[in-house]
Structure 1
């Protein structure tokens, strides 16, 4: 990967970080927001919950549609449009005089969230050689992990050390830097081969696409369904203190960042085998979690491995869908976001049923159930669309 491509990938990753930072950074400063605008904590929490709701709607409905609609427009222009929307929303947040204005300024940009992520993943994969694709994509996904792990503590630190307004300015500056960097250093990316919307949507007529989608839904349900109750498990089963819980959350976050760093290398060498083996490896981890989850010492090691595998799963899921529909990359990445989010919703709901019916420790069985289902869809696709079965079929 030459220096020009490295700079491009860095800008894309920073852009993803900026967007995720805007989304999650307010979590740690909700008490300051409530105090500043004279609202309750529950009302301040709407900044997170309504953003998440808008994002869920955007991902579920417009996640595949908007990337498809923008797929015929110069990608640089689309990225600037989205980043500009976030910059404007952040600027409005800085000068908001009432809570309603702040709420609107945060919710509207959420609908543009999946557009940037989808295009960033597509640009990363199309700007490098075939051998470097997985490494480039993993670096962009690293921006997601960094935004999730670093956004809250950075914003909280700035707000506590200076003021709430300075934290809002931080969100703005990050997105503004990416906007300027994109404007100055990202080359124009006109769509040289304009595919009709119909030809791109035709990938939904292929069984290989739906087998990939079903596998990704189950993989995300398996990973996120259990992870959604991560803190609850550590408190109720491992019985850790609040301080130890914080340390484990930080370790998990650091492990996901490392997992993204190694994911590109692993998938570049053995992408297909990695996806096939993934349910087995993650299943072994869940069994270890079930039998050793009550012991604090082993849980530190389990949490580290869990974080690495969690990141590998994100990268593997993105590969599994986009490789099934290479002729429509923007749509494929939109499908990855939409159905990945659906998997999170299903997994969290089913895991909640396991907890309410059997107890917190048995949430692991929900993860194992979805891993088995994902393995079935992975193996069916592998069998039906192997090079031997379908010569020349794209994976």
Structure 2
């Protein structure tokens, strides 16, 4: 159990690093003399680093000892966050975020198989879920706590703490995980070949647009709440707790609904609910109580889609030979973060030419495009049942 918890600790540190910027962005922008839209590029750069470097690093590092690689990646993650904490300008912040992001995706790509190998085969899904639990806990507890620390004593203290957590995870992984020789990884060209299958490629489009849509607004939620809903900076922390709890509920409900009603129906349900909640956000953003309820509903639908798209991608890839499911899962993680990068960048452009009250329009457009794309994601074959099972195990735990 302690070996699995070492992976959970790594995921917890990573989760805080990815999402804590939401509550700290105005303070960071003021400190490095940048406007909010430009500072929002820190979210974009992080997500792009995951998208671009994770497939490359996974293909390269999977052939080596997984314990050494995971410990090394978490050390890189710690250094990246330390660079963020001490950097005096936006360029240094972006370089630090890029380093941390490159480590992020590869830790999950390499760590999930390690988690599964630590338990009997019939418990592999639960082992992977325990690792990904770190992200969920980070969203509910770590991000609000990091925001509170940043508000009280400075945002640099938050990233110093994240760097310390990353280093602790690196040392723990090295100390408790068994040494394991690497296996032949999926080559990069084999990963890219999956994109030639139209339903799978469109599933990644749905993942990027549908999941990413939320971050056109969420990245700039703090100024939206303080400028329009009358919240103080400390009160925003509690809204982040509320949103985090809602995402946990959405993730769990999405997994169950996928099992019972199928992935495609769940994806369309999630996107429809997301669009409705984003449209409602245009009306509730000036009312403190109404927007809190709206944000809770939004959080449920925003993460309802996660297990469904992950399950569907793995199931579609199951007929493409050995290693295809693992590659499809990794590409879907890249699609999640490509969506975050695109949406946060688009939201920043809107913010540069207006105010955060307009960011929901960007999210609505992206979610509508994702809903249209679902018309092409239905399988042209009947995937193997074991593929569906493995997809549910991974998907229900992914965020």
The question of a shared fold, defined as TM-score above 0.5 by the shorter chain, is answered with yes
Give the drift of 1:223: 2.3
Which structure 2 residues correspond to residues 19-38 of structure 1 after superposition, within 5 A? 19-22=14-17
Bigger shift: residues 264-273 or 246-255: 264-273
Which structure 2 residues correspond to residues 1-395 of structure 1 after superposition, within 5 A? 4=1, 7-22=2-17, 41-42=32-33, 52=43, 55-87=46-78, 108-124=99-115, 139-148=130-139, 150-151=141-142, 154=145, 170-191=161-182, 195-235=186-226, 239-242=229-232, 244-260=235-251, 263-267=254-258, 269-270=260-261, 272=263, 273-325=265-317, 327-329=323-325, 331-348=327-344, 363-382=359-378, 384-387=379-382
Q: How many residues align?
A: 380
Deviations 1:303-357 (A, max 9, x none): 2222233233344444343443353455434423433233234334555677899
Deviations 1:250-290 (A, max 9, x none): 32233334444555555455551422422222233234434
SS at match of 1:111: helix
In 2: Cα distance, 1:140 partner to 1:322 partner: 19
In 2: Cα distance, 1:373 partner to 1:353 partner: 19
Deviations 1:53-82 (A, max 9, x none): 653442242232222222333433321221
In 1: Cα distance, 2:126 partner to 2:187 partner: 29
In 1: Cα distance, 2:381 partner to 2:325 partner: 21
Q: Which has the larger Rg? A: 1
User: Do the aligned residues in 1 keep the contact of 2:46 with 2:101 (CA within 8 Å)?
Assistant: yes
Give the drift of 1:210: 0.8
In structure 2, list runs of 5 or more residues that go unmatched.
389-399
In 1: Cα distance, 2:331 partner to 2:316 partner: 11
Computed over aligned residues only, the root mean square deviation of the Cα atoms, in angstroms, reads 4.9
Q: 1:191 to 1:204 in 2, by over 3 A?
A: farther
User: Do the aligned residues in 2 keep the contact of 1:252 with 1:304 (CA within 8 Å)?
Assistant: yes
In 1: Cα distance, 2:262 partner to 2:293 partner: 26
Bigger shift: residues 217-226 or 191-200: 191-200
In 2: Cα distance, 1:352 partner to 1:99 partner: 22
Q: 1:139 to 1:264 in 2, by over 3 A?
A: farther
